[in-house]
Structure 1
């Protein structure tokens, strides 16, 4: 029974898919997986299709031309601009594909610069999503949880997207009763997922990090306590179908402000707020993946991040005040979209928040058009 859509954005090392297929085959999950490779017209899409055929797995490859054809077939060509080309945020296309096919109960995001460890990768994600019971919960006096907190006294790392104003937090471990996990975030060894400023502070000009992580840096799996936020990185992430309305990977790179690299970070903030409102949880820890980030200019990443660094310090507070009466992920997302559109703070590039909020509204409209079912019930607030 194929119930899981595995979404891989790739323009580089797509052969990594073979390793994930081999892992799934070894542990007996391959018949559950359908691979969606999201690529570009300048890439070897035919080679990717041949790879899937050689591996004997179900899947499709979508370059730019194939995506345009799919939009036309589904009658949603008016929403094509929601998915930026040649951007990591094109993972949203995979979410649309998942949403259009009701057989998929789960989605998995995998980045093409990762490899699975020698453990049951997909099985662990499935177990995490099915997890129930008293669970280690982490909170801080800054309302933010560093997903690398367990050995932070040794390595001093904070992940990409963690607000600078929330650093030097006081961490408290407690427990929470968990009965519905909606997302399973696997963490990473080798190259940590850091922002450009922190990479520069670590003394690396090639976009990686001098400080690396190992299995020993991680302890017990945990959830971020209800009411606290965390960074969500989509390189190694499984989730339930129900969160798709609140999990749009935001419009980065191809925008008037040249903002990039916050697609999964901000979508994670909105997902966590929505999950809290629904009484659900985001689970963190295993399965680990090996992150083999290719060298590139740290300053290129810095140029993508700088236009939204101030906004990143505040966007979560806008989300935290929205959606208190929401009864669904779609309603929660619509409320957060309205909050971004209506914000009145004088932030640098603050108009980008309005732009993001408008795209969030249209994401819900797109899902409605795709399935013919209304996913967002609240009325749209005035701009």
Structure 2
């Protein structure tokens, strides 16, 4: 009898899901997700009971748990915004993270086959990236591809891949003004390609279908201060993407985008989105040039050092734009302090571990 293969990275990857509702969407993902451990971050009212389908291995954290685990540092975790997912990144003990939104379902490729998005992300992360010279056949490490004529042999080894950014069929990831002028537009284009984003090029990262190497870039995957009590929302994943990309460029790490696709099922309300986004729409005209011109000193040899330096520059150069950026810069530092506290080899964070077990068992009993 042939031996069944274990799912790839089964013991090395956590799936992080932010939610405010019952996770019935997991039924569709069961064939792909069930072997893996889930970290569910419940946003909003912590007294609301979230139902998780039977058979999944998971931890469920709510706002009370965030406050208990982080204490005074809990104010760096956003409330009433999907940015709360980064708490899951913080408490995970795995090398890799895959994060997905609860309105995302299994997509099909042009042949009608269901797409195992997690498997494709793993493939992306385990293969090198080539950010320093563009290969016109896109990812040279995919089956059936290679480096084209003229590609420098000295660069063909590539660099480690830190981030895999997936895409979406059906509902596009548009901002509110574009939603308003294209309310019925749907993405039906399936582009069978993965590419390394070149060094020095920023991109708008979407958190609904995203994987990363937590050991390589985890401390930079902070989704900022968004949502309740903040003047901005819906820029959480983009902020993390801009920060992470400049740090990846500095540390010679790769970022890939393209496959895999998921099916994005629900269009959010464009008028609600506009209220959340409108300051960001103005601010991004200053934020993006800031990131395009960021220079990290050579002394910044770790992600944490890079991020601390970046927080200082955010306060210095974006602070005059609005007091929010002073607050955000402080939160970035608090995030790094929390990261090092929770993930210090000398500290096992027993309160966090015990609380997670308690939450898991009590949830499964209900």
Which TM-score bucket, shorter chain as reference? 0.7 to 0.9
Local SS of the residue matching 1:343: helix
Shift of 1:221: 1.2
In the alignment, which residue of structure 2 is the partner of 1:249? 223
**Would the aligned equivalents of 1:318 and 1:336 in 2 still touch at CA under 8 Å?**
no
In structure 2, how many angstroms separate the alpha carbons of the residues matched to 1:109 and 1:19?
Answer: 16
Higher strand content, 1 or 2: 1
In structure 2, how many angstroms separate the alpha carbons of the residues matched to 1:137 and 1:310?
Answer: 33
Select the residue among 332, 335, 338 that pairs with 1:360. 332
In the alignment, which residue of structure 2 is the partner of 1:110? 100
Shift of the 193–284 alpha-carbon distance from structure 1 to 2, 3 Å rule, reads same
Alignment of 1:1-383 (within 5 A): 1-12=10-21, 14-24=23-33, 30=35, 33-39=36-42, 40-41=44-45, 44-48=48-52, 51=53, 54-55=54-55, 57-69=56-68, 71=69, 76-98=70-92, 101=93, 104-117=94-107, 118-132=114-128, 177=156, 178-202=158-182, 204=183, 210-216=184-190, 218-242=191-215, 243-256=217-230, 258-296=231-269, 298-319=270-291, 320-325=293-298, 326-343=300-317, 346-347=320-321, 350-372=322-344
**Would the aligned equivalents of 2:192 and 2:259 in 1 still touch at CA under 8 Å?**
no
Q: Encode CA deviations 1:26-73: one digit per residue, 9 max, x unaligned.
A: xxxx2xx2101111436753522xx2xx22x3211122233334x1xx
Shift of 1:10: 0.9
Q: Encode CA deviations 1:189-214: one digit per residue, 9 max, x unaligned.
A: 00000000111222x3xxxxx21112
In structure 2, how many angstroms separate the alpha carbons of the residues matched to 1:137 and 1:196?
Answer: 35
Q: Encode CA deviations 1:114-145: one digit per residue, 9 max, x unaligned.
A: 01221222211111001136689779xxxxxx
Shift of 1:255: 3.2
Local SS of the residue matching 2:51: helix
Shift of 1:264: 0.4
In structure 1, how many angstroms separate the alpha carbons of the residues matched to 2:310 and 2:344?
Answer: 23
Shift of 1:371: 3.0
**Would the aligned equivalents of 2:23 and 2:51 in 1 still touch at CA under 8 Å?**
no
Root-mean-square deviation over aligned CA pairs: 2.5
* Count of residues paired in the alignment: 309
Local SS of the residue matching 1:38: strand
**Would the aligned equivalents of 1:89 and 1:263 in 2 still touch at CA under 8 Å?**
yes
**Would the aligned equivalents of 2:129 and 2:256 in 1 still touch at CA under 8 Å?**
no
TM-score normalised by L of structure 1: 0.74
**Would the aligned equivalents of 1:8 and 1:110 in 2 still touch at CA under 8 Å?**
yes
TM-score normalised by L of structure 2: 0.78
Structure 1: which 4+ aligned runs deviate by more than 4 Å? 133-139, 174-177
Q: Encode CA deviations 1:202-238: one digit per residue, 9 max, x unaligned.
A: 2x3xxxxx2111243x242112111111111010001
Shift of 1:357: 1.1
**Would the aligned equivalents of 1:322 and 1:332 in 2 still touch at CA under 8 Å?**
no
In the alignment, which residue of structure 2 is the partner of 1:207? none
Shift of 1:324: 3.5
In structure 1, how many angstroms separate the alpha carbons of the residues matched to 2:329 and 2:162?
Answer: 23
Shift of the 67–82 alpha-carbon distance from structure 1 to 2, 3 Å rule, reads same
